[in-house]
Structure 1
Amino acid sequence: MKAKYQSVLELGQQLEIKEGDVKEENGVLHVSGIAKNQYEKNLLWDEIKKIGGDTPSDIMADIRVADTTIYATHTVEKGETLGKIAKHYYGNAMKYTAIFDANTDILKNPDVIHPGQILTIPNL
């Protein structure tokens, strides 16, 4: 079972899931841990569903979230815009205003962001 869900386990390591635990019992893989934020939890669930379908019966995952006050954090890379970042996290570029509003302590203009800035991606 671990081999089937190896990509989930590897993603958990990449995301530095805290208090991670993996065990197999009666043909079911039990995984648990604490993701930094909801976005990282969603990434893990997306990977689980990619392998096992929408309601996999051979894996039980208990992934908690350390910080529920935000959706994610994002480090700006060269060439990004708030619209592109909003599209990535929310699927809608027009939600860039939510990201701007959550970061007015470091952003003064929604059209001006710089590589290396760490932005809060708010819950919607």
Structure 2
Amino acid sequence: MVKAKYQSVLDLGEELKIQNGDVKEENGQLHIHGTANTQYEKNLLWDKIKEVGGENPSDLVADIKVADTSVYARHTVSSGESLSKIAKHYYKDPMKYNAIFEANRDKLDNPDMIHPGQDLVIPNL
């Protein structure tokens, strides 16, 4: 029954390709373990958990680790994107675009010139 309540969390875990995932239901609690690729993906899972179970769910125990702590996220540029749009997506602040630019100086010469298909590092702030 608890597993059904958190099915959207489990679905998101599959979509994000959470590694070493394990889900068990014991004594009315759902125990979730796994490793997200980046901190951003871990945050997405926690946001979904809070959306379903509230700020401090008593029916869920989650242990989610992060595989790559050297970056906040990795992002492939889509058509129409800018660094400020990407910064707003990840950091909720478009003015943090320069942090992304600086982290990708090996690929970018100008913060106003990014191209679809480029793989960018989204740094930890």
TM-score by length of structure 1 reads 0.99
The SS at the match of 1:3 is helix
Letter in 2 for 1:106: K
The SS at the match of 2:33 is strand
Confirm or deny that 1:37 pairs with 2:34. Answer: no
- Determine what percentage of the aligned residue pairs are the same residue: 69
Long gaps (5+) in structure 1:
none
Structure 1 CA distance, aligned partners of 2:70 and 2:93? 21
The SS at the match of 1:115 is coil
Confirm or deny that 1:68 pairs with 2:73. Answer: no
1:103-124 alpha-carbon deviations (Å, 9 max, x no partner)? 0001010000000001000000
RMSD of equivalent CA atoms: 0.3
Letter in 1 for 2:79: K
Long gaps (5+) in structure 2:
none
After TM superposition, give the deviation of residue 37 of structure 1 in Å: 0.5
Q: How many residue pairs align between the two structures?
A: 124
Structure 2 CA distance, aligned partners of 1:53 and 1:122? 29
Moved over 4 A (4+): none
TM-score by length of structure 2 reads 0.99
Structure 1 CA distance, aligned partners of 2:40 and 2:120? 14
